[in-house]
């Protein structure tokens, strides 16, 4: 999904930094008057800055830190913990020892009680955290003294350590508040390299460097995240010098190639664009319709024409170069096959070439978020391909406030994708227990084979067993598609060439805040 304007906790997952006024930041790029400030244009803002409600859950939150973090290659490294966890032989106990001398931004020391409070509160059903299922394996969290935390699991959960990048909140502040409505959402207090300076909703988030951060004070002293939903407007403001950098669609990023003062960064991702096919819609609930759409779509053409080659066809939720990808499920556009599937199911060609079955037209609405040119182009291409098979797709743009109550019965051009482990992204996308749970399982997909594979993959620590389960899952999605997977998108960023130390990671769906070249903003150094 997209950061909310995709309101899922994953989308609120990790904002970054920000400070400096966004009203006239042009000096930062043109005159160098603000050499230690950065102004970046992103497409959306989070609903909350509280980790208790999902903010920063996948790491890279600049206000907070987790027990662990990830490096450039996504390998886990110590953060608030002084070392990687000690794991018991049975895989049921993870022990972390905290780093010494870490303080929250209000000056109070970090202790194991803060870690226990954070996890216990998120696991409390009264807390409105839609990502709670990601911590399902936890049976108990306890403190042993002020510097040691022990997690006991219900079952061996192979990727558990990766879940402990989740940001830690200060118990002494959070416990005095309702986790769902308290001021932590807008007035965060954390241990991270940046502090929130101000938040003008819908306009910008401004942050300043934390001079007392345990990892050292960042060189980029002030950073602004300017909220600019429209892709074209972000590109225009970057070109005018109003922004130092921005996340852009590939075709817009390409227009900066001749600008020697700017540098382009490409990041491979797990981020895919897909069409949800809701089970409660009389047309999209028909398996023949879903199978025909899967065969009718020209994925490679979307990569070539919409993404300018900056991406790959998506044959399922995992990219083709992922080690867990099920080999052999790649498939080309096959309109003849699509028509045969519909013919066999009794969908007969009618007025205007649109098929019908027992008086019902093969027609449904596809929503996409306003201002998102890449999704718009995907939606239009999808509708064009579908029409060739006799299926009418009525494309409509809307805000997420309009889309959210309609996604139960209308299709949505959505975005998802998580890196690190297949459980991270697949469970919330597909498990029937999460159908209709906010932006989890938006298609309300329900397949017993897939559910069993997800449960096996989550609860087994044996790599061969897990690999077999996820292979079976991907092949079942071809037989019974609840989504039409279209493309995996490379994320493209353009920034003024004023800093060193910039790198990209293999990214999840969320980008603009937690990901991008600014994932390690605290490590940037100004060019001499």
Q: Give me the pLDDT at residue 33, please.
A: 41
The residues, any chain, with a CB within 8 Å of residue 23's CB and separated by 6 or more, are none
Spatial distance between the Cα atoms of 122 and 184, rounded to a whole number of angstroms: 14
297 within 8 A of 413, measured Cβ to Cβ: no
Whether pLDDT at 31 is above 70: no
When pLDDT is cut at 50, 70 and 90, the band that residue 512 belongs to is low
Whether pLDDT at 3 is above 60: no
Q: Give me the pLDDT at residue 415, please.
A: 95
Q: Which residue has the higher pLDDT, 79 or 4?
A: 79
CA angle 374, 380, 386 (to 5 degrees): 135
Task: Please report which helix (H) or strand (E) contains residue 384, including its range.
Answer: helix 373-388
Whether pLDDT at 30 is above 60: no
Spatial distance between the Cα atoms of 413 and 401, rounded to a whole number of angstroms: 15
Considering the chain, what percentage of its residues have pLDDT values greater than 70? 93
Q: Which residue has the higher pLDDT, 525 or 34?
A: 525
Whether pLDDT at 389 is above 90: yes
Superfamily of domain 272-489: Dipeptide-binding Protein; Domain 3 (3.10.105.10)
Q: Give me the pLDDT at residue 371, please.
A: 85
Residue range 305-318, pLDDT digits in tens: 999 999 999 999 99
Whether pLDDT at 15 is above 60: no
- Other CB atoms within 10 A of residue 462 CB: 12
Rg of the chain taking only CA atoms, in angstroms: 23
Spatial distance between the Cα atoms of 222 and 210, rounded to a whole number of angstroms: 10
Spatial distance between the Cα atoms of 64 and 357, rounded to a whole number of angstroms: 55
152 within 8 A of 92, measured Cβ to Cβ: yes
Q: What number is the average pLDDT over the span 426-434?
A: 96
Q: Give me the pLDDT at residue 8, please.
A: 35
Spatial distance between the Cα atoms of 199 and 202, rounded to a whole number of angstroms: 9
Q: Give me the pLDDT at residue 35, please.
A: 79
- Other CB atoms within 10 A of residue 470 CB: 23
Residue range 197-232, pLDDT digits in tens: 999 999 999 999 999 999 999 999 999 999 998 999
180 within 8 A of 125, measured Cβ to Cβ: no
Q: What number is the average pLDDT over the span 386-404?
A: 97
Whether pLDDT at 5 is above 80: no
When pLDDT is cut at 50, 70 and 90, the band that residue 417 belongs to is very high
What are φ and ψ of residue 146, in 5° steps? Answer: -85, -15
Q: Which residue has the higher pLDDT, 30 or 89?
A: 89
When pLDDT is cut at 50, 70 and 90, the band that residue 510 belongs to is confident
Q: Give me the pLDDT at residue 42, please.
A: 93
Whether pLDDT at 327 is above 90: yes
Q: Give me the pLDDT at residue 419, please.
A: 87
| Window from 28-32, 64-68, 452-456 with minimum mean pLDDT | 28-32
When pLDDT is cut at 50, 70 and 90, the band that residue 398 belongs to is very high
- pTM recorded for the entire structure: 0.85
Q: Give me the pLDDT at residue 511, please.
A: 67
Mean pLDDT of the chain: 91
Spatial distance between the Cα atoms of 460 and 422, rounded to a whole number of angstroms: 13
What are φ and ψ of residue 363, in 5° steps? Answer: -145, 135
11 within 8 A of 1, measured Cβ to Cβ: yes
């Amino acid at each position: 999904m997209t950061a909310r304007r995709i309101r899922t906790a994953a989308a609120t997952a990790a904002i970054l930094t920000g400070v400096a006024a966004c009203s006239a930041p042009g000096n930062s790029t043109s005159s160098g008057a603000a050499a230690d400030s950065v102004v970046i244009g992103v497409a959306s803002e989070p609903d909350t800055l509280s980790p208790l409600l999902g903010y920063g859950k996948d790491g890279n939150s600049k206000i907070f830190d987790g027990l662990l973090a990830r490096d450039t290659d996504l390998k886990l490294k110590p953060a608030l913990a002084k070392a990687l966890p000690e794991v018991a032989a049975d895989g049921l106990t993870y022990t972390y020892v905290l780093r010494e001398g870490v303080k929250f931004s209000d000056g109070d020391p970090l202790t194991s009680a803060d870690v226990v409070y954070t996890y216990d509160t998120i696991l409390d059903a009264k807390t409105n955290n839609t990502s709670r299922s990601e911590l399902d394996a936890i049976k108990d969290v306890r403190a042993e003294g002020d510097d040691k935390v022990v997690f006991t699991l219900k079952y061996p959960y192979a990727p558990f350590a990766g879940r402990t990048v989740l940001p830690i909140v200060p118990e002494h502040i959070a416990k005095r508040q309702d986790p769902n409505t308290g001021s932590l959402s807008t007035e965060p207090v954390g241990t991270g390299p940046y502090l929130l300076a101000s938040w003008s909703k819908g306009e910008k988030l401004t942050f300043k460097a934390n001079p007392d951060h345990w990892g050292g004070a960042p060189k980029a002293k002030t950073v602004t995240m300017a909220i600019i939903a429209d892709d074209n407007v972000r590109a225009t403001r970057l070109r005018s010098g109003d922004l130092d950098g921005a996340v852009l669609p590939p075709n817009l990023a390409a227009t900066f190639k001749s600008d020697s003062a700017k540098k382009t960064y490409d990041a491979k991702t797990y981020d895919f664009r897909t069409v949800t096919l809701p089970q409660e819609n009389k047309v999209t609930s028909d398996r023949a319709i879903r199978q025909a759409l899967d065969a009718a779509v020209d994925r490679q053409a979307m990569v070539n024409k919409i993404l300018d080659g900056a991406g790959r066809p998506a044959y399922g939720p995992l990219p083709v170069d992922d080690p867990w990808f099920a080999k052999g499920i790649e498939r080309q556009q096959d309109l003849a096959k699509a028509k045969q599937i519909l013919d066999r199911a009794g969908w007969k060609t009618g007025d205007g070439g649109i098929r019908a079955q027992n008086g019902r037209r093969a027609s449904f609405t596809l929503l996409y978020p306003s201002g998102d040119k890449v999704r718009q182009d995907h939606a239009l291409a999808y509708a064009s391909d579908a029409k060739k098979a006799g299926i009418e797709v009525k494309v409509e743009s809307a805000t997420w406030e309009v889309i959210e109550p309609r996604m139960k019965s209308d299709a949505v051009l959505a975005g998802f994708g998580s890196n690190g482990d297949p459980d991270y992204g697949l469970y919330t996308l597909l498990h029937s227990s999460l159908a209709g749970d906010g932006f989890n399982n938006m298609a309300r997909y329900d397949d017993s084979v897939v559910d069993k594979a997800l449960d096996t993959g989550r609860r087994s620590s044996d790599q061969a067993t897990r690999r077999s389960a996820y292979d079976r899952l991907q092949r079942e999605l071809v037989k019974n598609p609840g989504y039409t997977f279209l493309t995996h998108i490379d994320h493209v960023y353009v920034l003024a060439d004023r800093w060193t130390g910039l790198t990209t990671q293999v990214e999840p769906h969320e980008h603009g805040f937690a990901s991008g070249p600014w994932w390690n903003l605290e490590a940037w150094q100004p060019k001499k």
